[in-house]
Structures are given as structure tokens and as C-alpha cells.
Structure 1
Amino acid sequence: MKAVLTLYFLTYLHWDKDLSTAVYHAFSGLCYFTPILGALIADSWLGKFKTIIYLSIVYVIGHVVKSVGAIPTVGNNSMHIALSMLGLILIAFGTGGIKPCVAAFGGDQFDEEHGSERQKFFSIFYMSINAGSLLSTVITPILRGDVQCFGGDCYALAFGVPALLMIVALVVFTAGSVLYKRNPPQGNILLEVCNCIGFAIKNRWRRWKYDPQRKHWLDWAEENYSKRLIEEIKMVLRVLVLYIPLPMFWALFDQQVCEDTTPMIQLHNSYNIPCFPLSLIQINDQCSDLGLGLLDFGASYTVILMEESGKIVAHKMEDVSANDVHIAWQIPQYVLITIGEVMFSITGLEFSYSQAPANMKSVLQAGWLLTVAFGNVIVLIVAEGAGYPLPWASFVLPF
């Protein structure tokens, strides 16, 4: 759906590029803020399996509403905008809510002694995501452009087909329910974590002059909370601190859709995004001890991408006729993007799961996904707020 979303804003709703970019990144950010809500529901109330089922239904409804909003005969432009925004909000809550649950639910199927198999699962899991992304990137524009309906591009079909495919996926997922290992929810763990942190801060502020110093500031919560919970919170906070610089990667990565779509309107040759994860499973196995090193290595590829991207967009000649630059010149950038994302994301998913306490698997997965949300917020604040005289500056300045 994202493959044609910017075009939908530009050509169907007739928004300008700045508004289209702002709404696109706001939608992307919302998709990655809502995982906190999904994690809270899964770990505290419904469990991962039921959360996936219910929020998948919300996701399907969102696509149906979005598809109806893309039918020209339904109301006027204001109605199209209202339905489109409602559909995007439902999609964001649906897809965002299930994101941390799907990865954590898959990891739950492996016992601790099967760590290597779990690593391979996350590689295959991410390969499946990229395979679906590849197919949708190819098929969705075809449905939009080559299939005519209502006298123009068929955005309604492009948005409706994902809803149908999601229904099929939901039926298949539900059919295997008897085979799954389900960990029951363990109360409102996120609220308990927040209360523990708040009590530790308050207790330390009140008593630090009178009581002896403690090894860690969270140890000031020992009067009211168990040592096990305190140690689990320490584990989570140590991982979250490592996530602080990660939004910079996603601020660069997620700009490719909006920033590359406008030039591609003039370049009529098709393109594909390579799908690397399966071929890198063996590399990942050999580098399994590097862990965080792979995160840095993946992020470094984005720096290379910025350099290559600048070479393409920084030297513009006004007198060059349209389509003289073949779209294949963007393939090196997409190769670097994909390699960087694969090394970055697969390692991050597995690392987030392996480092999380048993009762906070979804919460830490949501924390990982929040880095994507904050990356999009950076783009909104810096790119849309400050404005850039040159297109390539939006890639360089956030970094």
C-alpha cells in the first residue's frame, strides 16, 4: 500500500509534495508508535495470539475504508480525504498493534536451548516480510496503473487487494491455533514497570541523605517491589539505552519512498527492490557473536547510501530532456539500502527478543519499533519544519 500512497496523495487527492510527505511520515510514525498499545494489550490483557487476531481485523477494516475512499463516485474530495484519513488511522493501529506481537509470538515457539533455531526463524521471518514487500511493490502499482476503473487509475483496487490477502492470511494463521505455544498474559506489566521506576526515583530523592548509597538507582524500589522485577527492569533499560541513536538510521531509511517517488513519476522503467535476508542467513550465523556490531554495520551502509544518493540528485541539468537518465541508476542505492536494512533489522529483532524478560517480550519489541517512529518524527521536524534548499540535504542533515 505504501508503494502508491504518495502517488495517491499527489494525483488523487491533489496535495502538494510537502503535504504529501508530511502526511506520509506522520502515518509511518503512527504505525510505529502504536506497537506500545499492542504490546500493552498482549502482555497485560489478551495475550499475543488474541491480540494478533483482533487487531488484524482492525487492519482489514482500515483497508476497506481506505479502498472505499478511493472510489471517485463516493462523495466529493472532502469525503475522500475523510475516508482516507480514517482508513490510515485504522491501518496504523492495526498493523502497529500486531507488529511486536507477531515477532514475539514467533520467538515464543522456541525454548531457550534452541537459540540458534530462533535466530534462523527471525532471519526467515524478516525474509518473508521483505518478500511480501517486494511483491506488493511490483503488484500494487500494476493494479493502480494498468487496471482501469471509474475512468482512471484504480487506487480502490490497489488498496482493496491487501485487505483480501490479509483475510486469507488471518484464516491460515487461525487454522494453526492448536499447534501454537501460548504464554498467558501476566497482568499490567507496563504499568507495574512505570510505578516501580517512579517509586525508585521518589524514594531516592527522599532518603538519599539518610540511607547508605545503593549500587543502582532502581535498587531504591526494593522496599515495595521484588528484586526479580527490579532486575528485569534493569535489563530492559540497558537495551533501551542502546536504542537511543537508532532513530537516525530510520530517519534516513524511510525517506526513500517520498523522496524517490517524485523523480520516478518521470522515469517510466520499472524497478525491483532486492530481497537478501535468506541469502544472508549463513552470514548471520557466522557473525552471530557480533550482535550489536551488525547493527552498526547495517547503519554504516546507510551512510554509503547517502553518498551515492547525493551523486544522483546533486547534479541536475535543466536542459536535459525527460527520461534520459535510466531508472536503473537507482539500483545501487537500493542494493545498499537492502543490505543495510537486513543486517540492521534482523539483528535488532533477535537481540530485542533475546534480551527481554519473559513477561516483557512484546514490550521490548515495541521499544525496538519505536525507533522507527522517532525516525519519522525527526524527518517531520527537521525536513518539514526547517525546509531544505536542496533535496539531498534532507538525507544528510538528520544524520
Structure 2
Amino acid sequence: MAALDPKTGPDPEKASLSVNDSAAVELLYDDDNPEHRQLRKVPGPLPWQLFTVCVIETGERFVYNGISGPLQNYIQVPYPHNDAGIPGALGRGQSTGVALGNFFKFWAYLCTVLGAIVADRYLGKYKTILAATPIYLIGMIILVVTATPVALGAGAGMGGLIAAMITIGLGTGGLKACIAPMCGEQSPEQVAFIQETKSGERVVVDPKLTSARVFMWYYWAANLGSLASLGTTAIEKHHSFWMAYLFPLIVFLITLAIFIAGSGKLVKVPASGSPILDASKTVSIAIRERGFAKATPSALQASGRLEKYSFAQNEHYTDSYVEDIKKAVKACKFFILFPFYFLVWIQSYSNLIAQAGSMDNGRTPNDLMQSLQTIFMLSFIPILDLGVYPLLRKRWNIVLGPILRIFLGFVTAALGMAYACVLQNYIYQKPRNTINLWIQTPAYVLLAISEVWLVITGLEVAFIQSPSNLRAFVSSMFWMTIAFGSALGIALSPVSEDPHLVWLYGALAITAFIAGLAFYGFFRNSIKAEVDSDADTKDT
């Protein structure tokens, strides 16, 4: 039974805040100790530095979703509005609107790989964030200027939109690759330890649960920024598109100032040479040796093959280093089926907006409905973190593992598309604009639940399963799955219009459900021991 080492364990003062009525930190958790294995596990505290990092995430999402909210109408509907009173600018039709909207997502999340390389190899996460923000701002200025009536009248709208998408996408890549892993790095707990509360209960403060909690609140902050579409869609309907895009630009400048002002005490992990290149060399050795176990220096030494690889003779090439790379590769494999989820997820930014436009919206902007998904997520996250999860841990000693959470995310997304399919069929059977658009609400509720289950867990896995010098890269691999999902959406854009939408929604529902079953079958055994290993808890 090990004593608490302040060099490797948490700071006792900070750790004592891990439980509301905590009294004392005793010793490190020993998984071989039967008594320890019977103790209830709890998350650590949310470090205050987390909220400083989350501010810039809120601002970035405020801009991104502030743009995405009105984007379908901006592209699809002619200037100044159509016969139903829906505002527009470019008049290129629903299919083009869906394709360009998906291109924007594809490009932005593809650029996270570039952001990760810059962060991990050259600048570090903090400086990469600072370098990406001017690029982001330039793109926003282009969009605001070319969305003015004068620019639209001069035919600059489409060219300005494409230029803005490309520039904003570059900025998004630098920000998204760095913010999530930087949030995880603010947590002080690195090892599990035993703590006694004032009530006399001994509990285990588990860093994995702490990470799960950190990413839940990171995503809560991100979705707080996503509420921008509430404002931008209203401004779009009642004033103009250029004003709708100027609003999030101003908010982003405010959040950037707050982030920089509070950055002095942030944990800033520096760049560490060429971790991605080194990781690729390690993977190459593992492929040639037919497995990571045979690629460790000790195994290579035993087989007499160490001299074959000059890279394997480097001082930092150790058994533990190879194991870290193995974990990172497994984390990336974990995301293989995620594009099929994000193909469903992006419907709330495109086809579901168009569906609402074909319904009776009264004075409600049709593109406001996507904000319901954000509002429901902002409600579900604290309910789960402060209510459901603690109740399961305390009363039944159950920790919902990532495998089940992600599976549930696929299933609820499938249910959301099934509802949209039934609703679309109902719309086709009724006269146009006679069905109230609020009937869409259940679809957004289901998509919100699915996002809480799947996206937050994916971020958690990307952080926990990656070595510290590759966290931005593994995080970018997670975000890349949105790019792949958007690419699938672009491929489906020719059928993203009447009269194909019933079949489209139905096919998406079936695809998401099958992907969920495949995910559960593929991964529940292969990585459960590493991602989901809590022998003393029930993994349902």
C-alpha cells in the first residue's frame, strides 16, 4: 500500500476538494488491495483553470454556430426572401445549401490535423490558439462584408462565402485541435487516491472519472456558445445577414480578451519536437514486427533485431513509450465508425432546417429549431453530472462505461432520424406549410441525448488514451470523423431534396443503428480492459 507521493499524486489541498464534504487524503489507490477495490469511486474537482480555457471554446462555438445557423437559408433562398417570407441571399437551392454547408464542416474539421501538427511539433497548444485566432477573425470580416446588400447586389456573395469558409476553417482547425486537450491538462489529479470524507466514508478519487467530468463541462461550455444561432437566426429574419454575422464576431473578441487575461496560471504543455513523426516510425516498426508487443526495445533485444532499426536505439524509445503509442493508435481505431454518427448529426444544420421551412413557422425562424438541440444538451449535461451519474455510483456502484455510452449515442441518433422520416412522410401527405414546425422537437431532443452520450465520451477517450505529447493529434483524429461524416453528406446532397427525403431519413436511421451495433460488437472486448477497466464497478 503506497503512501501519497506529492510528486506523482495530486496536491492534497486541491484533492481535498474532490468530494463536497471531504476531510483528508490518505494514500494512493492500490488495485491489488481487495479493500480498495470495494470503495466507491468519485470524480475529482473541476479546476478553475478549466473555465478560462472554456471561455475561448464558448467564443469559438458562438462564431461557428452563429454562422452555421443562418447558412442554409443564406445559400438556399433568393434575396431578400422567398414566397413564405424566409430570408435568403444567394438563391442556390436546398441541394447546394446542404453541399456547401457540409463542405464547410468538412474543411473546418479536416484542418484540425494541421492545427495538431503545429501544436504538437512547433508552438504548443496555447500559442497555436493565439496564432489561429487572427485567421479566424479575417474570415469573419470577409463574411460580414460580403453579406451586406451592396456586396450581394454586386455579385460578391458566393465568392465571399467560399473565401470566408476556407479562412474560418483554417482558424477552426487550430482552435479545435487544441482547446479540448488543453482543458483535460488543467486537471491536477494524475493518479487515483483514497480520501475520507467528513461523514467517515472512504472513497477513491479516480482521474478517469475526473476527465469524464471535465469533458462534460467543456462540452457544456461549447454548447453555451452554440446558442449563438438563437440570436443570429432572429437577426437574420428581422434585420439582415451581415448584422447576424457581425454579432458573433463581437462576442468572440470579448471571449478572446477574457481568455488572454486569465491565461497566466494555465497549465501550458510545450511542443515536444516531432511526436507525430516519431509515432509514425513506431507504428512502422510495429507493423514490420507484427505487433506492438514485439516492437518494444526489450523484445527487439531478445530477438536480436534491435540493430535493424536505428530509431529503436534512441534513448526515448522505451517499452513504456511503445505502449503509449499503442494506446494512441487504439484510441484512433475507436473512432472508425463515428463518421456514420456525424452523418446523422449534421442533418440538424441542413435538411432539418429545410424541413422546418416547409412547415407552418408563424413568426419563428425556421433555422431557430436547431437551437433546441443545444438547449436540451445544456440541460442534460448537469442532470447527468450532478444527478444521474452520482446516483448510479453511490447507490448501485455502477459506472457507465464509454462502450455503452457511445452505443446509446448511436441508438438515440437512429431514433431521431426515424422520427424525422415519419414526420417527413406526414408533411408530404398534407398541404404545404400547414404543420406546425414545433412538431420537430422530439427529433432534436433525441439528437441532443445522442450527442451527450457519444461526442463527450469520444473526447474523453481521445484524452485518456493518448500520450501527453500526442493529445492534440489524437483529438484531431476525433474531430476528423466530423469531416468524414460531412464528406458523406456531400455525397448524399443530390438526394437531399424533395421527393427523396423520406428515404434519406429512413436510410440514415438504419445506418446509425447498424453502426451502433457494429461498434458495440467490435470494441466492447477489444479495448474494454484499457478504456473501461474498473474491476470493482459494474460495467453495464
TM > 0.5:
yes
Paired residues, what number?
A: 382
Q: Tell me the SS of whatever aligns to 2:475.
A: helix
| 1:208-237 alpha-carbon deviations (Å, 9 max, x no partner) | xxxxx7664755795323134422221111
CA distance in 1, matches of 2:223, 2:292: 44
Residue equivalent to 1:265:
357
Please report how far the alpha carbon of residue 171 of structure 1 lies from its aligned counterpart in structure 2 after TM superposition.
0.4
Residue equivalent to 1:93:
170
Please report how far the alpha carbon of residue 55 of structure 1 lies from its aligned counterpart in structure 2 after TM superposition.
0.7
Range that drifts further, 248-257 or 191-200? 191-200
Q: Tell me the SS of whatever aligns to 1:110.
A: coil
Residue equivalent to 2:460:
350
Please report how far the alpha carbon of residue 104 of structure 1 lies from its aligned counterpart in structure 2 after TM superposition.
0.7
2:117 equivalent among 40, 47, 59: 40
Range that drifts further, 104-113 or 374-383? 374-383
Measured on the aligned residues, the alpha-carbon RMSD in Å equals 2.4
1:244 equivalent among 336, 358, 381: 336
Q: Which runs of 5+ in 1 are unaligned?
A: 148-153, 205-212
Residue equivalent to 2:220:
127
Residue equivalent to 2:133:
56
Please report how far the alpha carbon of residue 6 of structure 1 lies from its aligned counterpart in structure 2 after TM superposition.
0.8
Structure 2 CA distance for partners of 1:324 and 1:316, relative to 1, 3 Å: closer
CA distance in 1, matches of 2:355, 2:246: 26
Higher relative contact order (CA 8 A, sep 6+): 1
Residue equivalent to 1:210:
none
Please report how far the alpha carbon of residue 89 of structure 1 lies from its aligned counterpart in structure 2 after TM superposition.
0.9
Range that drifts further, 258-267 or 162-171? 258-267
CA distance in 2, matches of 1:217, 1:82: 54
Structure 2 CA distance for partners of 1:329 and 1:387, relative to 1, 3 Å: closer
Please report how far the alpha carbon of residue 66 of structure 1 lies from its aligned counterpart in structure 2 after TM superposition.
0.5
CA distance in 2, matches of 1:119, 1:330: 31
| 1:61-96 alpha-carbon deviations (Å, 9 max, x no partner) | 111111111012137554222111111111111122
Q: Superposed, which structure 2 residues align to 1:1-399 within 5 Å?
A: 1-11=67-77, 12-74=89-151, 76=153, 78-111=155-188, 112-113=190-191, 115=207, 116-133=209-226, 135-147=227-239, 154-201=240-287, 203-204=288-289, 216=293, 218=295, 223=309, 224-225=311-312, 226-227=317-318, 228-266=320-358, 267-269=360-362, 270=364, 271=369, 272-273=371-372, 274=376, 275=378, 276-282=380-386, 283-284=388-389, 286=392, 288-317=399-428, 320-384=430-494, 390-398=500-508, 399=511
Q: Tell me the SS of whatever aligns to 1:254.
A: helix
Please report how far the alpha carbon of residue 190 of structure 1 lies from its aligned counterpart in structure 2 after TM superposition.
1.3
Q: Which runs of 5+ in 2 are unaligned?
A: 1-66, 78-88, 192-205, 393-397, 512-540
Please report how far the alpha carbon of residue 360 of structure 1 lies from its aligned counterpart in structure 2 after TM superposition.
0.8
Residue equivalent to 1:151:
none
Contact between 2:120 and 2:469, CA under 8 Å: does it hold in 1?
yes
Contact between 2:96 and 2:493, CA under 8 Å: does it hold in 1?
no
Pair member with larger Rg: 2
Structure with bigger helix share is: 1
CA distance in 1, matches of 2:113, 2:243: 31
Structure 2 CA distance for partners of 1:15 and 1:387, relative to 1, 3 Å: closer
Question: What letter matches 1:235 in structure 2?
Answer: K
Question: What letter matches 1:161 in structure 2?
Answer: F
Give the fraction of aligned pairs with identical amino acids, expressed as a percent. Answer: 22
